[in-house]
Every structure is written in C-alpha cells, then in structure tokens.
Structure 1
Amino acid sequence: MAHIALYRTWRPQSFEDMVGQKHIVQTLQNSLREGRFSHAYLFSGPRGTGKTSAAKILAKAVNCQNGPGIEPCNQCEACRRITDGSVMDVVEIDAASNRGVEEIRDIRDKVKYAPTEVRQKVYIIDEVHMLTTEAFNALLKTLEEPPAHVMFILATTEPHRLPATIISRCQRFDFRRVALEEQAERLRRVCGEEGIEIEEDAVAFIARLSDGGMRDALSLLDQIIAFSGQKITYDDVLSITGGMASDQFEKLAQVIQDRDIGAALTLIDSFMQEGKSADKCMENLIYYFRDLLMVRMVPNSEALTERILDVRRFAAVAERFTPDGLISMIDTLNYYQTEMKYSVQPQTLLEVAVMKLCSGGGAPGRSGAAAPASGGAVSPAAAGGERQDAVVSQLLGRIERLESQLAAIVKQGGTVSAGAPASGASASGSTRTSAVQTAASSRKTLEKADIYLAGRETPEFRDAAQRWSQVLGRVKELKITVHAWLVDGEPVARADSNLLVAFKSSMHRETSEKPANKQLIEQALQEVLGHPYKLITVMQKDWQAAADSKQQEAPKEELQLVPEDEPGGVVKEEWISEAIQLFGEDLVKIKED
C-alpha cells in the first residue's frame, strides 16, 4: 500500500481530535447539542490550524445517522462516506480554481434541490477570498436566505479580503495558531503511534519551526522520518531543516560582546560551509536575540520564553547585555533582513550586519540606533534616563539658538552664521536651518529691489512674462515633478540676465531652488526665450512689500501749467516723448505749426 502523508493520516476526524481550538470546538458542540446550528459559517485563521478539518467534522456531525450530536460517530455509512468524499450532498469547492461567477451561479441553481443521501446539504468553500467580486455578488442572496436543508461553510486565511456583506451573513470563527506545548504533545502522540523514537529537544524544535501550524509540523516530521528512520535526534532535525543550535548562537553572541569581528566572520563562514542559508541565519539570529531580551526583561514568564529549551543557559547569556543593546541589535538585524530580500549577495549583508553589531552601531538611517551593542559593564536603567535627558536638553538649546537667529534675520536683515549642527540634532532643527537660509536669500534679493523694479518695464521682461506658459510647458516635458513646484511661481521682474520669480509657498520655492531643479528650469528658459537666464526666487509677499515701499519713497511729481504763448518748447518735447513711448516712433508724425 502506498505511503500516505502524516498530515493526511492524522487529520482530525472528530472535534475531540482537534488541537488548540478549544474555544471553537466548545461553541460548535453546544450549538449541535441544542440544535441551534447556523446556515452559514466563516472559518478564518492561519494555514494548517484545522479550518477545513473542522468544516468536514461539522458536516459529519449534522448528517450522522446516529445524530446530529456533539461528535460524529465515524462508524455509520454517512460518516464514512463523507470522510471518503463520496457523498454528493457534501460538496467541497476550491475557490482558488473555481472563482468565477458561473461556478457560483451553478451552486445557486442547485441549492434549491433537496439532498438525496443525507439530511443536510453542505457546501464547503475553501480559500473563499479568491472569489471574484461578481462571484461574491452572486452568492450574497443565497448565502443570506438558503433553503432549510443547506449549510454553507466558508474557509479563508485572509478574511480582510472578504466583503463586509459576506462576513455579516455568517457566524465567524477565528482559528488561532496552535500553542507550542499542544503541538509538542501531538507530535509525541504521532511518534508513539508510528513507532518512532524521538528526542525531546527535537520535538520542541519541530514545534518551534512550524510557527503554530499543526499541518506544517506533521509535514516536517514526515520529512525528518524519511531522513532519520525510526530514531530521530536533535542533530538530525538541525541537518534536515538548516537550523542552528543555540550553542552556535551563544558563541556568536560572545564574540559580538567581545567586538571580535574576525571571529564573528569566521563563525558566519562556518555556518555557510555547513550549508546554512544566509536568510535563515538572519531569521534565527533575530529570534535568538529576541529570546535573550524576553529573558532579560521578563525572566519568569513561560509564555514569552516558550521557544527556549534551556532558560537558565539563556539567562546567563542575557545578563551580559543591556536591554537597550539588545533592542538596538534586533533593530539592526531587522533592517538588514529587509534589505536582504532585494540583494543578490545575502551572505555579504549578513556579514555586514554582524560587523555592525560588533562595532556597536545601529541600523543606517535610524534615529537613536547607536545604543551600545555590548553590555560588558551594565549600568542601572537610571543611567539611560540621564543620557536621554542630556540629549533632550541639547536639542532644546539648539532649537532656541536657531529661533533667535531667525528672529534676528527678520528684524535686522542681517545674515546669521549657523554653526555645525549638534550631534543628534532633530529634524525640527534642520527645518529651522532651512528657514534661516530662505529668509537670508530673500533679504539679499530685496536689497536689489530698485534694479529689479526698473527691469519690469523692459521689452525683454515683457517677452518673458508673455511666454511664461511656454516655459512651464517645456519644464513639464523635461520633468513633471519640477513643473508641479514651479507652477506656484510667476515672473515679476528682470535685471541683466536674472529673472525674478515670486512664489506664494515657501516649500514650492525651496524645492525649485534645489540645484538639479534650478538647472532644469534655467535650461527651459534658455530654450524658450532664446538666451540664458539665471533663476532668482523670492516670496511673493516680500516682493510686494518691497515694491510698495519703493513706490512710497519715490518723489511725487508736481503738475505745473505753462501758458501756450510762453516759450514752452520743453513742454512740447515732453508731449512728443510721451506719445512716442505710448504709440512708437513708426506711428507718431511730428508736424510743425
């Protein structure tokens, strides 16, 4: 007889056999005892936690010839045939391959017919989240008000992808990951029934690797039996799964604490020579330091340290590190694990991450990630609080100095030389520095307001203003994101080869002033206007204020009346000049009286 996989051989056939779902089993049994079972159920949860098995057990319980009862008898013809999948009235559908509206319409047309072999027609739709929107719509009315002889059981690993209209029509049961101890107990029972001798450490390690999925644990056990035969050791499990023993991590943690980069790289190379994968090493290393942190912070909690085989040994290692150091190391490893997914050299990233831990550094780009990685001299938690207070005080002082410098610029018009930012300066300090530079640039521009005001009347500026829309269009062709910032500005004046553009938003102005963006804009100006221009920017409100101020300072002209018979050649010349300025030399003809 052909071998049958362990997870199929040991699939639960009754509620009593189900592992780790007591809250669901009790609810379903109570409803069966009282005859209050629903017409639609939704079973959701991680893979391998018993959703489909519970659905088939429920189908047998409601159709058992000796029931319905809280448990199927598994002896009558109905129970046996449902187990074999030969009852036409109990239909198991894989929604991943039958996800269209036509398949659901077929169900809708057939539900009205009474069952022919058992008392209740049951539809089990697995991976129901794979159905299309049209298929869900076709299922809605039938799911809400099916005939009395029909029951729907929907199973999914992703309930968030189901429409709320579907969920609201079902009784929802959330399956949980199976606890480590319950998995280990089940594995011991399977090994005992199959005549397999297995070490306790191997059982615990298999349970840990399955991550709460009972089916995964049985599949892994089946693979290890094929490798080891009738006797399974802890080393066999490590060999077949590519895992690493905790004593190897203990050596690595020791060299990290000693900051011995050479020894750390030698250990990693030995891992690779043993056939370990870099991503699996990184994952296991994160788990190891996580367990150290749990032992360090909550030493007596079995729930938080259930992954640990030898708590005392872990506690001895954890005492060498500070909690801040462990958190920093986990953060660093997590950063490089994310980067490893997109790298063609994962081993190199693993080595870089370990070297980073040895040097005491944190993840790149992470604020506050420079906590010491080693914990040679462990100081009280109060020492960490004092360091934080010092950093906060330093930042507050820096912010106050920047605010004072900005106020000086606004009031006096002077330029302020801001020193190099203090170590650990926050993003708020960087923002204020940028504001200081922007204000200083505006002040320098407005000091030349006379030159720019005079340039407003030149034909070159009028040409630039009229063709500004063409400039914007060319910028949009070159880079649409730069156009999005530049469209906030408009040309207001010209001086020599400088074109002054006023912006309403400081953010739009600062982005347009960035070297790469400014170069692109100046390129568009030259292409459209025919000669090179240098872009000068200013805030619109500042430019308007400067223009109004200069206009008020200009001397007022006095109107003087000159008699016609008085020698007034000067007056006539002024009229002629004004007429030429208004209408042009080609249209003005001068005739002598």
Structure 2
Amino acid sequence: MEHIALYRAWRPQSFQDMVGQQHIIQTLQNAIREQRVSHAYLFSGPRGTGKTSAAKVLAKAVNCERGPGPEPCNECPSCLRITAGNVMDVQEIDAASNRGVEEIRDLRDKVKYAPTEVRRKVYIIDEVHMLTTEAFNALLKTLEEPPSHAMFILATTEPHKLPATIISRCQRFDFRRVALEEQTAHLSAICEKEGITADVNALQYIARLSDGGMRDAVSLLDQISSFTDGKVTYEQVLGMTGGIPSEQFARLATAILEGDMGLLLELVEQLMHEGKSADKCLENLMYYFRDLLMIKMVPGADQLTERVLNPAEFKDMATAFSRDRLFQIVDTLNKYLGEMKYATHPQTLFEVALMKLCSLQQDESETASAAPLGALQAGSGVNAPAVHSGELDLLKRQITALEKKLEQALQSGGISGGGRDGASSAKSNPTPSSAPRISATSKMPPNVDKFIAGKDSPDFAAIYKQWSLVLQGVKEEKVTVHAWFVDGEPVSVMDDAVLVAFKNTIHRDTTEKPANRQVIENVFAARLGKPYRLVTIMQRDWNEAAQKSVGQPSKEELRLEHEHDTADAKSEPWIDEAIQLFGEDLVVIKE
C-alpha cells in the first residue's frame, strides 16, 4: 500500500481535530449554529497553522447533508467528496499560479451560477496576496456583493500585502503559532496511533524546531521516524537536524567564561568533524545564550527557553554570567551571524567569533582590576587615569581657559575691584587681542584718549584707504564673519591696534568672539602690512568721547536710522537664534 505522508494522513477533517486555534474554531462553530455565516473570510497567519484545513472543514460544515452544523459528519456523500476534492462547487484556487486578471474574471463570471452538487459554492483562494492589482480590482465587487449561494475564503501568510479594500470586506481571523505543549501532545498522540516510540525530550525538541507550525512538526517527525525505524530518541533528533546537545553548549559557555581559547578551538574542531555546519552552530549558540539570559532575568522561564530543555539544570551557568555580559555575547554572536552568510570560510568566522567573546572577557577583567587602582589614586589626591582620563583632561583645559579669560578681563577693566582703583586699573592696561567681552554695551576700550589723539594721524588715513581691501579679505576668509564685521567702521589707530566703531551691539559682540577676531586680525596682518589688534567700541560711545575731547557738550543727535540701530538685540533676536541653531559657518546675512 502506498505510504501517505503523516501531515497528509493527519490533516484535520473536523474542527475538533485542529490544534491550537480554539478562538477561531469557537467563532466559526457559533456562526454556523446561529446561521450567521459570512460571505467572505480572511484566514491569515504563519505557515502550517491550519488556514487551508480550516477553510476545507468550513466548506464541509456548511454543505453537510446532515447540517449545516458546528461539525461536518465526514460520512455523507457531500463531506466525503469535498474531502476527496471531487465537488466542482467547492474550488481550491492557488493564487500563486492563477494570479492574473483573466482567471479572476472567469471566476467572477461563473460565481453567479447556482451550485449543482451541494448547498453553497465555496471558493478557497490560497496565498491570495500573490494576486495582481488588476486581479484584486476584478475581485473587489464580487467579493463585496456575491450571490447568496457563494462563499469566499481567502488564505494568506502575508496579510499586509492585501489592499485595505479587500480586507475591509472580509471577516478576518488571525491564526496563531501553536503552543509548545499543544504541539508536543499532538505529536505524542500521532506516535501512539502510528506505533512510533518517541522520547518526550525528542518530541519537545521537534516542536521547538517547527517554530509553532504544526505541519512542519509532523513532517519532521515523519522524517525522523523513517530514519530511526520507529524509535525516536533525543540524540537521533539532534543527529538528523544538525542540532547540538545542550551539554556541548555548556562546555562552550564554560570555555568562554574561563577565557580558554585552546579549549574553544578544540570544541569547534570536534563539532566540524561531527558534520555540523558552522552557521548552524553559531545560530544555536546564540539561542543558548539567549536562553541563559531568560533563565537569569525571568523567574520560571521554562516556556521561554528554546535550546535548554531543563532550565533548572543551567541556573548555575546563568548565574556565572552577568546580565551585561550576556547581552554583549548575544549582540556579538548576532553580528557575526549576519556576516556568516557572506563568508567564504564559515568555520574561520565561527572561531573568530568565539575568540572575540574570550577577548571581551579578558577586557572586562582588566577593567575590573584597574578600578581599585583608580579609586586608590583618587583617594590619595592623584588623578585617576583609568576610565575617565579623557574627561579629566577636558576639564583641566576648560579650567585653564577660564582662568586665563578671567585674568584678561581683570586686566582690561571689564571686571574691576570697585571704586577708583578699578577705574585706574582699566585705564592702565591695554586690552589683549583675545580678551572676552564682559558687557559690550557699557565697556569702553582702554586708552581711549590715545585713540582720540590718533584719529587724524597719517597711519589711520592709510588704513582708512585700504579698508575696502580689508573687508574683501575678511569676506574671502569667512563670509559669515564679513556679514557681522561690515557693520563696523574704522575710527582710529594706535600703535598696534585698530579701533572699529559699531552701530549694532549684536554685530560687535559676534565680531569679538575669539574665532572671528582671529580671522579679522589675520586679514589685518595680510592686507595692512603689519599685525594689528582689533579693538571695538560702540559708535555712540566714540562720538561722545570725541566731543568731550574737543570741549563740546554731548548732544543728542536727531537722525533717522534703522530700527535695529536703536533697539539693538531686541529687533534681531532671530539672528542670534539662527547662529545658535546652525553655527556661524552656515548662516549668511544679506542686507
């Protein structure tokens, strides 16, 4: 007698035969019992979970001669012929090979004719997501308003590829992956009926490998039982599927924990001699460490582990690794597993991955040993060079820069000690080129009297003539600096300093930033023939000082000016905000 594959021989013929989809079975049975069967259903879910089988059982239930009832009798001529596929009114269409618009148009033309053999016409369209867009459009109207004698059952593993207009016209049922206990119990029942002797551990491992697909589990059982002559053991399942016993995983994990690269390489060589594939070994090892992580972090993780069948036996191994260490191992193995598919020599990459794990363990040990030394140095007043040496160096540089800026501010008179001493100090010290501005609106440059005396000197006249060249040079160096600097106008020169008066506070403050000042002073040296320092002043302050020097009273000048000249920063806050958001290099200001 011809052998029939187990997954075909044990295909569900009634709702009660289905495994793991109780929520769908109960809904369909209630709908049949109450005569509320829909005209269109969508069955979606992973492969091997019973979508097509449920569709055929539903077709028998609505057409059973003793029904319709919640279960088909599987004895009447209609049920027997539908099971055998001999009823023309119940059609199973493979959408992968009949995906064109012509096939769907032919279906649409024939669906309007009444059934000739059974009560209702049933169209089961498998892998419906393979239909073309034109075919979906042709099916749409018929699916929305089919004849009263017609029923459509669409099955797919990828429901996200279906148009929303199709999904909205169907009752959708999502098939779940079958639970491990249900799969194991069903496999045990099959073994008992088929006369197969199987260990519980072997059936559990088969169920785990099937990834929730009942058909895959039954097919794997059929294959292994043929190889083992009806006696299925855990070791035989491992040998057939290329799996690795959890004890070997434990040996690999111990070698990684101890950093023993020699033992690791010996174990890899042993696995290769046993005919294991490097990529499968790496994948299984990653799952093993994933199981250890589950055992460590989740109490009662018996149902969450995949490669460890007895989690209680491996709690000591999970305790030996820290959580961060396990996360790091899984991340590293996952990275190498992604590279393995493109590797010319997978075994070499597998060995490198294991040695990488050992080297990470050694790095952790070195860091742990360096930590007490760093703490000792910190307690004795010595800077710890271990982990935060870069941050300490950065802090040192920042403190040094702040001290330098504070000293320069004191020398320039920006911060005075109070009273007349502070004022005299401000007048007696020149401003260094890199001195920061403390308050641009109130600070007068030092030696302003000397600048007033030099405002009509030949040196200033020469610089004034070449000022357009200076502006051009600044623009060539950095156009954003030019946009701020162009607001200033040279008013005097003294020794090695050029005094520039600004109308706008924002322009003056931005120009005096150290980086911008450096650009301008470099252009001074290149275009004016000698190095000059940049000294700035507000135009109002310069006019007032110049008038006082000739004995004229300070008068309020009445003139029309731009709003930003009088309102300063308040009228152009967006300029500062743009610079803070994008940086000076990306901001261009056009008058």
TM-score by length of 1: 0.66
1:41 matched residue in structure 2: 41
Task: Check if 1:349 corresponds to 2:349.
Answer: yes
- Deviation for aligned residue 1:306: 6.5
Q: 1:541 to 1:261 in 2, by over 3 A?
A: same
1:425 matched residue in structure 2: none
Q: What runs of 5+ residues in structure 1 fail to find an aligned partner?
A: 363-369, 377-389, 416-449, 457-491, 494-499, 503-536, 556-593
- Deviation for aligned residue 1:272: 1.2
Alignment of 1:463-482 (within 5 A): none
Alignment of 1:290-439 (within 5 A): 290-305=290-305, 308-360=308-360
The answer (yes or no) to whether the contact 2:65–2:78 under 8 Å persists in 1 is yes
Alignment of 1:8-157 (within 5 A): 8-157=8-157
Q: Secondary structure at the match of 1:93?
A: strand
Q: 1:13 to 1:283 in 2, by over 3 A?
A: same
The answer (yes or no) to whether the contact 2:202–2:234 under 8 Å persists in 1 is yes
Q: 1:80 to 1:452 in 2, by over 3 A?
A: farther
- Deviation for aligned residue 1:402: 7.1
CA distance in structure 2 between the aligned counterparts of 1:373 and 1:13, rounded to whole angstroms: 64
Q: 1:35 to 1:246 in 2, by over 3 A?
A: same
CA distance in structure 1 between the aligned counterparts of 2:339 and 2:396, rounded to whole angstroms: 38
Task: Check if 1:542 corresponds to 2:481.
Answer: yes
1:235 matched residue in structure 2: 235
Q: Write the letter of the residue equivalent to 1:319.
A: T
Q: 1:308 to 1:361 in 2, by over 3 A?
A: closer
Q: Secondary structure at the match of 2:146?
A: coil
- Deviation for aligned residue 1:120: 0.8
Aligned CA RMSD, in angstroms, stands at: 3.5
Alignment of 1:404-553 (within 5 A): 454=469, 539-549=478-488
CA distance in structure 2 between the aligned counterparts of 1:399 and 1:174, rounded to whole angstroms: 59
Q: Secondary structure at the match of 1:360?
A: helix
2:573 matched residue in structure 1: none
| Residue-by-residue CA offset, 1:168-189 (whole Å, 9 max, x unaligned) | 1111111111111111111111
CA distance in structure 2 between the aligned counterparts of 1:109 and 1:164, rounded to whole angstroms: 24
The answer (yes or no) to whether the contact 1:206–1:220 under 8 Å persists in 2 is yes
Task: Check if 1:258 corresponds to 2:247.
Answer: no
The answer (yes or no) to whether the contact 1:61–1:69 under 8 Å persists in 2 is yes
Q: 1:79 to 1:223 in 2, by over 3 A?
A: same
2:285 matched residue in structure 1: 285
CA distance in structure 2 between the aligned counterparts of 1:13 and 1:373, rounded to whole angstroms: 64
The answer (yes or no) to whether the contact 1:360–1:374 under 8 Å persists in 2 is no
- Deviation for aligned residue 1:546: 3.7
Q: What runs of 5+ residues in structure 2 fail to find an aligned partner?
A: 370-385, 410-431, 436-464, 499-591
Q: Write the letter of the residue equivalent to 1:43.
A: F
- Deviation for aligned residue 1:454: 3.7
CA distance in structure 2 between the aligned counterparts of 1:209 and 1:172, rounded to whole angstroms: 28
The answer (yes or no) to whether the contact 2:257–2:361 under 8 Å persists in 1 is no
| Residue-by-residue CA offset, 1:121-168 (whole Å, 9 max, x unaligned) | 111111111111111111111111111111111111111111111111
The answer (yes or no) to whether the contact 2:13–2:74 under 8 Å persists in 1 is yes
CA distance in structure 2 between the aligned counterparts of 1:176 and 1:538, rounded to whole angstroms: 67
CA distance in structure 1 between the aligned counterparts of 2:42 and 2:396, rounded to whole angstroms: 59
The answer (yes or no) to whether the contact 2:94–2:125 under 8 Å persists in 1 is yes
CA distance in structure 2 between the aligned counterparts of 1:317 and 1:375, rounded to whole angstroms: 21
CA distance in structure 2 between the aligned counterparts of 1:34 and 1:401, rounded to whole angstroms: 82
CA distance in structure 1 between the aligned counterparts of 2:368 and 2:259, rounded to whole angstroms: 11
- Deviation for aligned residue 1:544: 2.4
Q: Secondary structure at the match of 1:3?
A: coil
Q: Secondary structure at the match of 1:302?
A: helix
CA distance in structure 2 between the aligned counterparts of 1:371 and 1:158, rounded to whole angstroms: 45
The answer (yes or no) to whether the contact 2:288–2:307 under 8 Å persists in 1 is no
Q: Secondary structure at the match of 1:12?
A: coil
The answer (yes or no) to whether the contact 2:284–2:307 under 8 Å persists in 1 is no
Larger mean Cα displacement after TM superposition, 335-344 or 120-129 = 335-344
Report the structure number with the largest CA radius of gyration.
2
CA distance in structure 2 between the aligned counterparts of 1:393 and 1:150, rounded to whole angstroms: 77
Q: 1:81 to 1:551 in 2, by over 3 A?
A: farther
2:412 matched residue in structure 1: none
Q: Secondary structure at the match of 1:222?
A: helix
CA distance in structure 1 between the aligned counterparts of 2:215 and 2:249, rounded to whole angstroms: 28
- % identical equivalent positions: 62
Q: Write the letter of the residue equivalent to 1:15.
A: F
CA distance in structure 2 between the aligned counterparts of 1:94 and 1:271, rounded to whole angstroms: 43
Q: 1:454 to 1:110 in 2, by over 3 A?
A: same
- Deviation for aligned residue 1:218: 1.1
CA distance in structure 1 between the aligned counterparts of 2:342 and 2:172, rounded to whole angstroms: 38
CA distance in structure 1 between the aligned counterparts of 2:330 and 2:367, rounded to whole angstroms: 13
- Deviation for aligned residue 1:343: 2.0
TM-score by length of 2: 0.66
- Deviation for aligned residue 1:105: 1.0
Q: 1:373 to 1:93 in 2, by over 3 A?
A: farther
Q: Secondary structure at the match of 2:217?
A: helix
CA distance in structure 2 between the aligned counterparts of 1:302 and 1:6, rounded to whole angstroms: 29
Q: Write the letter of the residue equivalent to 1:207.
A: A
| Residue-by-residue CA offset, 1:254-288 (whole Å, 9 max, x unaligned) | 00000001111111111111111111111111110
- Deviation for aligned residue 1:342: 2.2
CA distance in structure 2 between the aligned counterparts of 1:396 and 1:143, rounded to whole angstroms: 71
Q: 1:553 to 1:93 in 2, by over 3 A?
A: farther
1:463 matched residue in structure 2: none
